[in-house]
Amino acid sequence: MSSRPRWHDGWWRPARACPSPNFGPRPPGTTVSLVLLHSISLPPGEYGGDGVERLFTNQLEFAAHPYYSGLRGLEVSAHFFIRRDGRTLQFVSCDDRAWHAGASSWRGRENCNDWSIGIELEGLEGGAFESVQYRQLAVLLRALAARYPIEEAVGHEDVALGRKADPGPGFDWAGLQRVLRRRRPRLPRAAPGRS
Ligand SMILES: [Zn+2]
């Protein structure tokens, strides 16, 4: 293991930093104990482009695709984005509050953005994800759990019931749990989806 610090002010060094203006402070004294998993691709179902990076940095060219006109005025972000090939980008320091959950609640605690880390997986809601994405997700979850008191990883669909459906039934929660169990004891629990 390298002794080089893997974190710098909430930035994870293995990820490519792509700072977003869409963030704010977490409420004072917040315990960051939740990871929220999402899926996104722009345009939907097209992989490898720079649409997500542009959306999260308010640089999307709305004329570039018909779907984009519906995203005009959105100010959103996530902490991380894991591409189909496993490459990972970071947009917001984990010490800060990213804007990915919206109205949300988990185990009776509201406003998940305040106390969660948001991870977007490049993909289509309801579709399958690549094995390298699960491996990279497990590496990232281990790094997060070593630095923050993460207890669980759940889906956006689990904290915004009826409003959001990502990552959806194509996400392999059992597979993620298997990967996480291999790396115990320092890892969060992956809660199964609602299926
Ligand atoms: Zn989402």
pLDDT (tens digit per residue) in 138-185: 999 989 999 999 999 999 999 999 999 999 999 999 888 888 877 655
pLDDT at 159: 95
Task: Tell whether omega for the bond before 66 is within 30 degrees of 0, i.e. cis.
Answer: no
- Measured distance CA(118)–CA(115) in Å, rounded: 10
pLDDT attached to residue 181:
77
| Mean pLDDT, the chain, integer | 92
Cα 122 to averaged position of ligand 1 atoms, centre (Å): 11
* pLDDT above 90 (res 93): yes
Residue 103 has pLDDT above 50, yes or no: yes
Long-range residue pairs from 101-106, CB within 8 A, at least 24 positions apart, any chain: 101/36, 101/156, 101/159, 101/160, 102/160, 102/163, 102/164, 103/160, 103/163, 104/36, 104/156, 104/159, 104/160, 105/159, 106/34, 106/154, 106/158, 106/159
Q: What spacing in Å lies between the alpha carbon of 125 and ligand 1's midpoint?
A: 9
Q: Which residues are catalytic?
A: 120
| Nearest alpha carbon to residue 64 among 74, 54, 75, 77 | 54
Identity of the residue numbered 52: V
Between residues 189 and 82, the one the model is more confident about? 82
Mean pLDDT, residues 15-38 taken together? 97
- Distance between CA atoms of residues 93 and 118, nearest Å: 11
Beta bridge partners of 118: 36
Instruction: Report the pLDDT averaged over residues 59-82.
Output: 95
Number of Cβ within a 10 Å radius of residue 148: 21
* DSSP secondary structure code for residue 119 in this structure: E
Distance (Å) from CA 109 to ligand 1 centroid: 18
Distance 102 CA to ligand 1 centre (A): 9
At 190, the pLDDT band (50, 70, 90 cuts) reads confident
